[in-house]
Homo-oligomer: A and B are copies of this chain.
Amino acid sequence: MTDVPPNPTAPVGPHRILLGLNTFGDVGEHADGSPQLHAKVLRNLLEQAELADAVGLHAFGVGEHHRKDYAVSAPEVFLAAAAARTTRIRLGSAVTVLSSDDPIRVFQRFATVDALSNGRAEVMLGRGSFIESFPLFGLDLADYEVLFEEKLELFDKVRAQKPVHWDGRTRPALAGLSVYPPLEHHLLPTWIGVGGTPESVLRCAQYGYPIIFAIIGGQPRAFRPLVDLYREAMAKYGHPMQQVATHSPGHVAATDEQAREELFPHWLKLRNKLGAERGWGPAGRGEFDALCAPEGALYVGSPETVARKIVELKQNLGVDRFDFKYSNGPLPHSAMMRSIELLGTQVAPRVAELLAENDRPAN
């Protein structure tokens, strides 16, 4: 039999931070204005995952969308291909829109990725900030809350790998059926992805799952009360402590200026496209520069700048893991590959060095 590996979502301690990557597989245009092919974007993603593995990053996650502008609608299908081409990196979703999926199918797909990756699968469950999956799968947006609540309850029972007894109003009941294939090692590592509401934080703690906060605007340090709330609630519920992570967009290049200039046009286009859909006012360079500043939520700059910002995050929020969303608007594949390489080969070791330095005076 295979050795059981240690719990992959146990906290990592005060002087360490795990670095992961996220992408939604943004689909854009070539330099000549012709549209990119979704299929080509998916093949580029596979190269990005291979590079992330090769440079030693901790995790690679793909987010589920059902829109023309993102290539990933079936995260686990992509992750299985990544499993076959990588050896160390953890493979996950960021996030799986559980509300509009079937918890049994989600478990089966991730269990299959887990088998094919020798125990490297993880799932991040969320309600999704996009809502296009509701009409597509015939769901009513009025059930936004109850769908997530009930499906999370069912998923948690399936994950326990015992015959499932469940009853609710959003899906027919289950009376003692088992779900296959089972996992080989521990329970499937399962995160809850949250925006910034106390209810979401408490729901995550109720299940005892690790938590990941999406911080895509404002200041990361403003999430301190929610991080504290999670840790207090986990203790109150009597769960063993789990990892706390944040996810934010970023881009790394040789210099701060290069990173900002490369990213800005893509960031602006994406920001204003989403803004038009969601009723935000148009953004400009001022907003971008504020987000890139030391207090902002964008991790953009040279390896040194980004490393210092990640260390700051560790100091402010005490997080165990930081997931860097390296696709922010359809940046060229080559620029994303360089960003990933710099993150693994320069940012990660520099973060470790800075955390070790910070450690010394305290001793």
Contact = CB atoms under 8 A, between A and B. Distances in A.
A38 B115 contact: yes
A81 interface: yes
Nearest to A133: B104
B73 A112 contact: yes
Contact of A183 (B39, B104, B114, B177): B39
Contact of A78 (B116, B173, B180): B116
Given A84-B81, A85-B84, A184-B37, A115 B177 contact: no
Contacts of A177: 135-136
Interface string A73-97: 1101111111111000000000000
A174 B138 CA distance: 8
A279 B102 CA distance: 32
Contacts of A68: 178, 180
A202 interface: no
Q: What number of copies of this chain does the assembly contain?
A: 2
A72 B115 CA distance: 11
Contacts of A183: 39
A285 interface: no
A112 B78 contact: yes
Nearest to A68: B180
Contacts of A85: 84
A162 interface: no
Interface in A164-203: 171-174, 177-184
A67 interface: yes
Contact of A179 (B76, B116, B136, B182): B136
A66 interface: yes
Interface in A187-240: none
Given A42-B116, A138-B171, 18 more contacts: A38-B115, A38-B182, A43-B116, A67-B180, A71-B181, A72-B112, A73-B181, A74-B109, A77-B112, A77-B113, A77-B116, A78-B116, A79-B80, A81-B81, A84-B84, A104-B137, A135-B174, A136-B174
22 contacts: A38-B115, A38-B180, A38-B182, A38-B184, A42-B115, A42-B116, A43-B116, A66-B179, A66-B180, A70-B180, A73-B111, A73-B112, A74-B76, A74-B109, A77-B112, A78-B116, A79-B80, A104-B136, A104-B137, A135-B174, A138-B171, A138-B173
